[in-house]
Amino acid sequence: MFSVPPRVFWPYCAAVVSLAVAIAAFWKPAARASGLDKLRALAPAAYAIPLVIFGADHLSSVKEVMRIVPSWMPGKMFWTIFVGAALILAGFSILLGIRRQLSTTLLGIMFFLFEALMHIPSLIRLAAGGHLFAPDQRGLLGVAGRDFAFGCGAFVLAVAASRADLRDRIERYACRGMAVVALAFGSIHFWYPRFAPGVPLEKHNPDWMPGGPAWGYITGAALILGAIGMLGRDTTRRKAATILGTILVLLVAVFYVPIMFAQPTVETLNYVADTLLFAASILIGAGPIAARSAVPGNPARDDALSHSKAAA
């Protein structure tokens, strides 16, 4: 264990610790749910675990992560460490139910700042140069889309205990925003089916993984069909988001986890975390169980339970 490089050890350690905390905190809500609702009940935990992993990656690979900070921003090391610490704190805030509304609001703002300060300017420069859809630039589209979806998921969690009209409006807008991202991701999968499915980044499918381009075509079709359903009415939106989120969770389990065990590196762990966080964001946007009933210590849930007991 002591021969493992710190930049590999700490993200995996963060994954194990946050998974243990998630099991302790969320097994009761998951046990109360049934069917696919179990996944929706676990969605906040699945959202929080990748945050802790990414935070540990920031803190253990400061020099590598600093490279993605825009050149015009001073204090690159400070921002790398600050974002890493913020991700870890937000992850455990969601898992433990401590100041969850504040942390998820700030987290959503941070993801949208990533869009405004980093991703959108880069996409504009690529579009101006005619390279937006170049094969070697497809990863930037994936990163921009995933961070937008992550921000939407954070804001849905942030309004979990808010009044019903605001909560429903944010859920609706967030789910439709994630649907647009899923639609774009699905289209990219049909253009580049041999790249790793889910969030379209730069990794190719391993040669030893059976299926080849079928992974890209199937995932692309699921993303497009799920996105169309998520753009519909509330009942259709929730069902489509639940099904799409479930498919992406299965993709993590049958595609990315075996790759991670076959080659336990920071990159393979990050692909697990990326796809899991994207799936969790969609499940959170699916509706009440993921956003309101499943998070331990949710005031809205506790009030509802107390009122039902009093009525009984």
Report which secondary-structure segment, H or E, holds 263. none
For the segment 224-230, the average pLDDT, to the nearest whole number, is 96
**pLDDT tens-digit map of 243-295:** 999 999 999 999 999 999 999 999 999 999 999 999 999 999 986 553 344 45
User: CB under 8 Å, gap of 24 or more: what pairs does 164-171 form?
Assistant: 167/291, 167/292, 168/234, 171/285, 171/287, 171/291
Amino acid at 153: G
pLDDT score recorded for residue 136: 67
Is residue 312's pLDDT more than 80?
no
**Least confident segment among 132-136, 149-153, 185-189:** 132-136
Which whole-number Å values give the CA distances from 240 to 145, 159, 177, 237, in the listed order? Answer: 19, 21, 14, 5
CB atoms within 10 A of CB 124: 11
**pLDDT tens-digit map of 63-94:** 999 988 888 889 999 999 999 999 999 999 99
Q: Which residue has the higher pLDDT, 233 or 178?
A: 178
List of residues 6+ apart from 301 with CB closer than 8 A = 292, 293, 295
pLDDT score recorded for residue 207: 87
Angle, helices 37-60 vs 76-96, to 10°: value is 150
Burial 151-189 (b: 16+ CB within 10 A, else e): bbbbbbbbbbbeeeeebeebbbebbbbbbebbbbbbebb
* Residue corresponding to tokens 């809500």: 29
- pTM given for the model: 0.88
Alpha carbons 47 and 271: distance in angstroms, whole number: 14
Report which secondary-structure segment, H or E, holds 233. none
Q: Which two tokens stand for residue 209?
A: 């993984």
| pLDDT, averaged across the chain | 87
